[in-house]
Structure 1
Amino acid sequence: MTAGLPEVWTGPSILAGAGALFVGVVLGVEANGFVELADQAPVPSDGPGAALLLLPFLTCFGVPFALLASLLGVLPTVSTARWASGRLTGRDVWWWVPAVAVVLVGAGVAAFGITRRPEPGPLVLGWLSGTALLTGAALLARDAALHGGRLRRILGYGALSTVAVFGIGAALYATGLVTEYRPPKVDAAELAGTWTDGRGGTLTLAADGTARAEALTDHDADTGVGPVPEPGKHRCTGEGTWSYDPGDSTTWQQSVQLFIKGCPFGGGIEGLRISGTAERPELNWEYGDIDSPDWYTLTR
């Protein structure tokens, strides 16, 4: 620690870091809700209201995690920045905090990328948002160490920020600068043809209501209990029938009812959901965790 500076590892610093993390996550969920309204998806988004719905959960379970993250992530960032600043400049300089945060979050994202190999886009977004969250929390914890408690101020400005984000997001959609996504309106004639999953599987929907599947992936079998199988190991092929359900009122309720012996998907109430655009529609089958499902998508 640089001589003459107050201790970082104090109650006010811990609470300031935890409060900033909590507010940052709530704002992130709220902003992401507005973004999801414009994204193409098989099901309608919960929108910014998800932040309000998740608030009790975040309060009960998120606060303890925020305190732990403040101890394990925020305060070590402040301490490391203070140490590096003192060694290299002889004084405590604030901009060392974002410099250290960039390196720490970057290392964590790199390790995740090497082990899980996600798409580059989400990886970069995770790095940027994680760096912003850690930097903001560390700067506020540093400020609390220098000037005393900041928790009330953080929570107060956080509440104002949530109102501001909601107002800006609502205005963008109300003025038409951003358009809420709706699935395209289709009919049975437009759906007839051959659909592909891009990995060798095809689904052919004939105009007479018959259907044929060739090597479609059975994800329910892929995600079953036991050792993780090879990607695409579980395939289904067969013949059957299909029909188009226009739904009652909105294009979100459209579906394709598919019944093929040997293939588990497409039947039931939900069927294959329709998304994409009028020029390039998509058929989607939900699988995996019911609370956070994945989607098997077929295109033409």
Structure 2
Amino acid sequence: MVAGTGLLGALGLTAGLLPAYEPPAIGAATVAGSWVDHRGGSLVFTSDGRVTASGVGVHDPDDDPSAASHQCTGPGTWSYEPGHNVRTQEVRIHVPGCSWPAWSVGGTHRKPWIYQHIGHPDSGKRYQLRKAADGS
């Protein structure tokens, strides 16, 4: 039954009956507001390019997603880069003392999130923050 479901799903994608996943195109207006992780860490983005980090994890490339190398707190700046398509859009964040690569975008239009791969991108491990429901 599982194999049959997988086969039908693959055929549906190949035939174009099922759309492939694409992250939402968020834009700078969507970035503005509060984003939170699973432990209560947050990034608060303002529309004028400022950001405040509070307990946001910084992961070394070989880290386990449940264990950040340290927590980042402080003010900084941010920018949104649309990329060539929705898969290459990025949010760049600079907070002194915190070293993050650009954040990628995932989720849906209703529930977007930003994330970073932990370890090799094919590992499936990532650290993500979701947009807070109130958008503040």
Tell me the TM-score normalised to structure 1 length: 0.38
The answer as to 2:18 corresponding to 1:188 is no
Partner residue of 2:125?
294
The answer as to 2:75 corresponding to 1:239 is yes
Residue 220 of structure 1 aligns to a residue in which SS?
coil
1:244 maps to amino acid: Y
Match of 2:98 among 221, 241, 263: 263
Which of 1 and 2 has greater Rg? 1
User: How far apart are the structure 2 equivalents of 1:213 and 1:280?
Assistant: 20
CA 1:231–1:247: 2 relative to 1, 3 Å: closer
CA 1:199–1:170: 2 relative to 1, 3 Å: closer
Bigger relative contact order, structure 1 or 2 (CA pairs below 8 A, ≥6 apart): 2
1:258 maps to amino acid: I
Partner residue of 2:87?
252
Percent identity (aligned): 37
Partner residue of 2:55?
215
* Deviation at residue 286 of structure 1 after TM alignment: 1.6
Cα RMSD, aligned residues only: 2.8
User: How far apart are the structure 2 equivalents of 1:202 and 1:187?
Assistant: 19
Q: Give a deviation string over 1:89-144, Cα, whole Å, max 9, x none.
A: xxxxxxxxxxxxxxxxxxxxxxxxxxxxxxxxxxxxxxxxxxxxxxxxxxxxxxxx
* Deviation at residue 170 of structure 1 after TM alignment: 4.9
Tell me the TM-score normalised to structure 2 length: 0.79
* Deviation at residue 236 of structure 1 after TM alignment: 1.2
CA contact (8 A) 1:222 1:233 kept: no
Gaps of 5+ in 1: 1-27, 36-164, 225-229
Aligned residue pairs, count: 127
Structure 1 runs of 4+ off > 6 angstroms? none
Structure (1 or 2) with the greater strand fraction? 2
Residue 261 of structure 1 aligns to a residue in which SS?
coil
Describe how 1:1-300 pairs up with structure 2 within 5 A: 165=7, 168-173=8-13, 174-176=15-17, 178-220=18-60, 223=63, 231=67, 234-248=70-84, 250-266=85-101, 271-289=102-120, 291-292=122-123, 294-300=125-131
CA 1:170–1:232: 2 relative to 1, 3 Å: closer
CA 1:171–1:237: 2 relative to 1, 3 Å: same
CA contact (8 A) 1:243 1:256 kept: yes
* Deviation at residue 234 of structure 1 after TM alignment: 2.2
Gaps of 5+ in 2: 132-136
CA 1:171–1:193: 2 relative to 1, 3 Å: same
* Deviation at residue 207 of structure 1 after TM alignment: 0.4
Residue 77 of structure 2 aligns to a residue in which SS?
strand
CA 1:237–1:291: 2 relative to 1, 3 Å: same
CA 1:233–1:175: 2 relative to 1, 3 Å: closer
